[in-house]
Chains A and B, each alone.
Chain A
Amino acid sequence: MTRYLPVIVTAAVFALGYAVCALQFPAFLSTRVIADLLTDNAFLGILAVGMTFVIISGGIDLSVGSVVGFTTVFLALAIGTWNIPPLLAFMLVLLVATLFGATMGALIQGFEMPPFIVTLAGMFLARGASFLLSTESIPVTAPLYGAISDFALRLPGGGRLSVVGLIMLAVFLAGGILLHLTRFGTNVYALGGNRVSTGLMGISVGRHTVAIYALSSFLAGLSGIVFSLYTSSGYSLSAVGVELDTIAAVVIGGTLLTGGYGFMAGTFLGVLMQGLIQTYINFDGTLSSWWTKIVTGVLLFAFIAFQQATLALARRSVRGTAAKGTTP
């Protein structure tokens, strides 16, 4: 039960927040708002899935926002200027992103460098590269883009469950299975718990580190594709600072920043929570939009304090039972 407590608390706060919003603006109960919440936060959600793996393994990935920016510019140029078919361009950019992440993972492992520094360098590199490609906002006019952005599952009540929203849900499902039901997922938890003893257990720490950062960058590339579909354009300044929103979503979702603990479902709630705050502020229309950041900051702080408190409690109870000589 205590294991699931952080996720339960996140869910409760989200439900409470949603109830408050719905009380003031009944439109919040419409399927349109719910579907928009998924569509508008799709790119953030996909990034957060990758970030959940990285943070549970005890690392951090600051490069994801820049990879999104790079992807959108690359796609706009590839499709519009170099005349590459969109699907091929998608595959190309995913390949580039995955290799980029794998390289960062290899550097972290090979030179025992802190992930913070390596991915910070990656962040500058990817952002710089996108500026090198173009500084303008380039429209994408491929028919496929129009078709995808026009297509949506119509929900009763005016809601439009868009393709990008569906992609995010699929990524969360796949990410949840990979994290909770496979050996790879178990090893990710082990890495975050203790790298040395994980190595001693015979798990290849190096291979897993490379795989985790490659996965994170792959998902950042996918998120970039979603972002490019979302805006039908490529812009080198897109998704600036989104890596921090992503980390915030993961932590609000109950994942420990020190690694070894967290749930995919919590991350999903963390993403929706940020979307909820922003939607509320847009509905209100009089509050400064910077309140989004302030409320996120307050939530973040509250959740970290809460995690530390539960951790301390858990440690004390473990010591208590150990002293009594009973097996936990």
Chain B
Amino acid sequence: MRRLSSMTTLLAATMLAGGLNAASAAELTVGFSQIGSESGWRAAETSVSKSEAKKRNITLKIADAQQKQENQIKAIRSFVAQGVDAIFLAPVVASGWDSVLKEAKEAKIPVILLDRDIDPAGKELYLTAVTSDSVHEGEVAGKWLAKTVGSKPCNVVELQGTVGASVATNRKKGFDTAIASASNIKVVRSQTGDFTRAKGKEVMESFIKAEGGGKSICAVYAHNDDMMVGAIQAMKEAGLKPGKDVLTVSIDAVPDIFKAIAAGEANATVELTPDMAGPAFEALTAYKSKGTVPPKWIQTESKLYTAADNPQKVYDSKKGLGY
């Protein structure tokens, strides 16, 4: 019997904790089926979603799926059962959403995809998708470099993301397009650094050796900031001055790159914004209040940050987001 009563206490305690949250009633309730918290970026996306919801007085219910599709399907079903006003979904895989999204559609609950898309067959089943365009991210990085070097000849080394990952392919494609018209800029070496700091450093070390101690390298382009942080380390150890002798541009805008920009060791980063929920909330409120149907794809801004953007301040605002 004692066991039973302790169970009751446990359940009562969780009920109390839940009850307090449910008390703050808002106009809209949105259920968000999040993939998990596998990367710093995703943790930041979750915390930004929470704060964006709070700003708009929207109740946000988040279900962390621990990287499992079945958990996401269960979460969507229970959102439908609760009768939420909208469902946000960051799909862990592209396929297998048809039947559960049909249920949401039947219940007249709009679904908005965040950060990733699903198979084209499911186009009818969601209201809109808020994602970043990774080709465009590469373009922004390339354009910045072309503008910065002007007409001087410039040899670029490239640290690619994981081989075969669509993000890596797209970021390479966008960069190549942007520098295609500048004949003075050439990518002389390009290798994968697997999106990690350690591999980024290792590959950069080999680039420096291959390019005569790094004297002929004019700029480094990395598909993400983590690899760039590793590369900066390698350049410093080789006696080079990253940010001055060698220009750097990378993508993602994680807090650590702002620390490097503030210290003058990095030049530019293109943001993959963790704020996917903000535009989604905007589209949703317009849809709910005025009936405005948003476009099928809402592209998030790929903002460029340099030393002119007060990197220290950006660092301070980003470091608490869980990156």
Please list the residues of chain A having a beta carbon within 8 angstroms of any beta carbon in chain B: 9, 12-13, 16-17, 20, 23-25, 27, 30, 32-33, 36, 39-40, 43, 137-139, 141, 146, 149-150, 158, 160, 227, 230-233, 235, 238-240, 278-291, 295, 298, 302, 305-306
* Beta-carbon contacts under 8 Å, B107-153 to A: 107, 119, 121
| CB closest residue in chain A, given B11 | A20
Residue of A13, A43, A146, A287 touching B14 (CB-CB under 8 A): A287
Q: Are A137 and B12 in contact (CB under 8 A)?
A: no
Top 4 nearest A-B pairs (CB, nearest first) are A285-B61, A139-B95, A233-B96, A231-B96
Q: How far is the CB of B87 from chain A (nearest CB, A)?
A: 12
Q: Are B93 and A284 in contact (CB under 8 A)?
A: no
CB contacts (< 8 Å) of B291 on chain A: these are: none
B69 within 8 A of A: yes
Can you give 17 A-B contacts (C-beta < 8 A)? A23-B15, A36-B77, A40-B73, A40-B77, A137-B94, A139-B95, A233-B96, A238-B68, A238-B70, A279-B78, A282-B74, A283-B82, A284-B61, A285-B60, A286-B62, A287-B17, A287-B18
Interface SS, A side? helix
Q: Are B121 and A139 in contact (CB under 8 A)?
A: yes
Q: Are B64 and A288 in contact (CB under 8 A)?
A: yes
CB contacts (< 8 Å) of A282 on chain B: these are: 31, 61, 63, 74-75, 78-79
B98 within 8 A of A: yes
Residue of A16, A20, A33, A289 touching B71 (CB-CB under 8 A): A289
Residue of B12, B60, B78, B107 touching A283 (CB-CB under 8 A): B78
Q: How far is the CB of A144 from chain B (nearest CB, A)?
A: 13
CB contacts (< 8 Å) of A16 on chain B: these are: 4, 7-8, 11
Cα–Cα, bound, A249→B309 (Å):
55
Total interface residues on B, CB under 8 Å, equals 48
B19 within 8 A of A: yes
Contact with A along B6-40 (1 / 0, CB 8 A): 01101110110111011000000001000000000
Q: Are A27 and B82 in contact (CB under 8 A)?
A: yes
Q: How far is the CB of A296 from chain B (nearest CB, A)?
A: 12
CB contacts (< 8 Å) of A286 on chain B: these are: 18, 21, 61-62
CB contacts (< 8 Å) of A146 on chain B: these are: 98
Q: Are B4 and A20 in contact (CB under 8 A)?
A: no
CB contacts (< 8 Å) of A149 on chain B: these are: 98-99, 102
| CB closest residue in chain A, given B74 | A40
